[in-house]
Structure 1
Amino acid sequence: MRRLPTRPLAVLAAIGVLALAGCGTQPAGAPADPGGVPGADRTIRAQQVMRLTQVHEQTGMTLLEGPVLDEHGRLLVVDVTAPAGEPKVLRVNVRKKTSEQLHTDDRGTYTSAQFSPYDGRIYLTDFSHGDIVSLAPDGGDPRTFFSGEVDGAPMNPDDLAFDREGNLYVSDSRGMADGAAHGRVVRIDRTGKDATVLADGLAAPNGISFDADYRGLWFSELTQNRISYLRLDADGAVSSRHTAVRVDGGVAQTDSIAVDADGNLYQGLHGRPAMAVYSENGERLATVEVPARAADGLESATNVAITPGGTRAYMTVSGPDGGYLYTFDALARGVRQSNGG
């Protein structure tokens, strides 16, 4: 089986887009701890649920992202590098270990998925074209929710989060291909008519999630391996911003973020099939890992969905062996902030 490209630009050549979210790789035998607070030694072993995808001949890779559970407990997952005609959004019955195509098209490079609390539709970020696309819950009725420039510059939307009213907060990974700090955090109102830059000068922002109380946003920067915090005021404007956690990932990079009911951060890693878990105060709590016997053929654990009201977590893991779902017990119950994005 062909191995995945090892650098972002190699991935771009494979799929013909300007940039793609989190495309590093990790050799076997890397250190066990991806970084954070000294002395944290708890390891959570994730267990394989099923293989969802194989490496696509046309693009040379598969990369699963954006897991989100619907109201029936079915898991939706996007395949970032799926070519036209192959499933770009899959719906998975985790109990029966079966999957089906929910959506495909000849255009989108989808890097995240989440249900809107405002209209109940599925929202997808199209990294290549700068669009936000929405689908009906059954995968039909595709619509372009937002397209175009924001403050005179196009977006490369990677992940998204919703506030309680259904407004969108998007990590814009502009500059990922050349490493320039042109990234932004963008707020789009729930009508899709008004877009505002909340933070700029960022190094390929990737993961984004509200904290447990919707007081602020956590976001990760892929090429700086750090997690920052934006505190928001009552009107949704930024009142402060600071670097909160520095992730010592080695060759692995910070990918998507999820937050559980206790405020713990689940930081996905691209470049190693593992996830780092931090408290809201920056304490390293745990490392989620796949079994060593499987890790050699897997190179990323991008994101996680935790069952709302429960602790069963589903992690998207990918590499030259294919795209997989793994499961583990989260440290606290799932909420909206740990279900999609």
Structure 2
Amino acid sequence: MRRLPIRTLAALAATGALTLTGCGTQTAGTGTEGPADQGRTITAKKVMRLTTTHRETGMTLLEGPTFGGDGGLFVVDVTAPAGEPKVLRVDVARKTSRAVHTDARGAYTSAQFSPYDGRLYLSDYAHGEIVSMTPDGGDVRTFFSGEVDGARMNPDDIAFDRDGNLYVSDSRGLSEGEARGRVVRIDRAGERTDVLADGLAATNGISFDRSYQGLWISELTENRISHLALDADGRVTARHTAIRVDGGLAQTDSIAVDADGNLYQGLHGRAAMIVYDQYGERLATVRLPARTEGLESATNVAIAPGTRTAYMTVSGPAGGYLYTFDALAEGVRQSNGG
């Protein structure tokens, strides 16, 4: 999830989402700016505009693209005010969308379907909660709320293991500029929590690697991607910095992984995405067509399961858009953008 400008923070404070002040004040550039690209260049194509700037919050911000079991693509609008769609379902073939859920308080920064119960799970960054619902937006439940090791989370992105246990990137400490971010594991019953890693610099993206034997995580304020090796019980056995992202003014946002283990690193501050292999080689840069204006961040991506068709969430003053491109390999569960 990208950081938000001052006017948005004021609007969110007025609507009860004051804790989103942790998302910062930095402005951003277009997809054609930035340092010289390495590897191949992939130009994404516009699919459709999903949202426009909300008067109440001063912006729109799409995140968390994830495919449901019926092929529908679900996205969240982080800054949507009460009454406006906070979760949308997109029919990419027909280029239509419809509202799935709204409420009076949530600021949802990611979405994932659980392999255990098939429900849609959302992280509420502002209130430190994880909620779930049926794919049609019904039966809304609070899956987790409260403190973890004495501190409330700022949950950003989420990922499920094969058994339905939830792994959360906790961006705690971002508003203070302190490295207090964490990776938190919540069992599939929502009862037991464990801090797997701490001392992180604004933990943002999180995704399992191809083998489910480790987690890729990005740290927004350090522009780095780390790998956490896991044992059979989901505990961290080793941790190291894997990739240092040369983003210039742009910063590391969400992460997705394809069937070949390649990493798709979203960027805050540039409407583009960088693709690395699992050994850190920069394979490609996904960018928008030349002369595209009013779009500032490419937060996240989902690759349709069993295909190479990728859908990237892009936002800015021009609105919230879906763009598509051909991924380097097929989509798998880890290819849902969290």
Question: How big is the shift at 1:12?
Answer: 2.2
Match of 1:326 among 320, 323, 327: 323
Paired with 1:300 and 1:126, the residues of 2 have a C-alpha distance of 20
Structure 2 partner of 1:305:
302
Structure 1 partner of 2:198:
200
**Residues 22, 255 of structure 1: 8 Å contact kept:** no
Q: Relative to 1, partners in 2 of residues 1:159 and 1:54: Cα closer, same or farther, differing over 3 Å?
A: same
Structure 1 partner of 2:332:
335
Code of the residue aligned with 1:27 in structure 2: it is G
Paired with 2:112 and 2:44, the residues of 1 have a C-alpha distance of 23
- Deviations 1:253-297 (Å, cap 9, x if unpaired)? 100000000000000001110000000000000000011221x31
Structure 1 partner of 2:120:
122
Structure 2 partner of 1:181:
179
Question: How big is the shift at 1:320?
Answer: 0.4
**Residues 6, 24 of structure 2: 8 Å contact kept:** no
Match of 2:98 among 92, 97, 100: 100
**Residues 220, 226 of structure 1: 8 Å contact kept:** yes
**Residues 223, 247 of structure 2: 8 Å contact kept:** yes
Paired with 2:95 and 2:36, the residues of 1 have a C-alpha distance of 31
- Deviations 1:240-265 (Å, cap 9, x if unpaired)? 00000001111111000000000000
Query: Aligned with 1:223: secondary structure?
Result: coil
Q: Relative to 1, partners in 2 of residues 1:69 and 1:132: Cα closer, same or farther, differing over 3 Å?
A: same
**Residues 25, 270 of structure 1: 8 Å contact kept:** no
- Deviations 1:120-155 (Å, cap 9, x if unpaired)? 000000000000000111111100000000000000
Paired with 1:6 and 1:218, the residues of 2 have a C-alpha distance of 20
Q: Relative to 1, partners in 2 of residues 1:100 and 1:213: Cα closer, same or farther, differing over 3 Å?
A: same
Match of 1:27 among 1, 26, 29: 29
**Residues 69, 340 of structure 1: 8 Å contact kept:** no
The 4+ residue runs of structure 1 with deviation greater than 3 A are 5-11, 20-24
Q: Relative to 1, partners in 2 of residues 1:123 and 1:48: Cα closer, same or farther, differing over 3 Å?
A: same
Query: Aligned with 1:84: secondary structure?
Result: coil
Structure 1 partner of 2:230:
232
* Of 25-34 and 40-49, the range deviating more from structure 2: 25-34
- Deviations 1:199-229 (Å, cap 9, x if unpaired)? 0011100000000000100000001110000
- Deviations 1:85-123 (Å, cap 9, x if unpaired)? 000000111111111100000010000000000000000
Question: How big is the shift at 1:325?
Answer: 0.1
Q: What is the 5 A alignment of 1:58-207?
A: 58-207=56-205
Paired with 1:9 and 1:60, the residues of 2 have a C-alpha distance of 10
| TM-score normalised to structure 2 length | 0.95
Paired with 1:109 and 1:83, the residues of 2 have a C-alpha distance of 9
The alignment's C-alpha RMSD in Å is 1.6
Structure 2 partner of 1:37:
none
Paired with 2:70 and 2:280, the residues of 1 have a C-alpha distance of 34
Structure 2 partner of 1:287:
285
Question: How big is the shift at 1:9?
Answer: 4.8
Code of the residue aligned with 1:76 in structure 2: it is F
Paired with 1:62 and 1:205, the residues of 2 have a C-alpha distance of 22
- 1:18 partnered with 2:19: yes
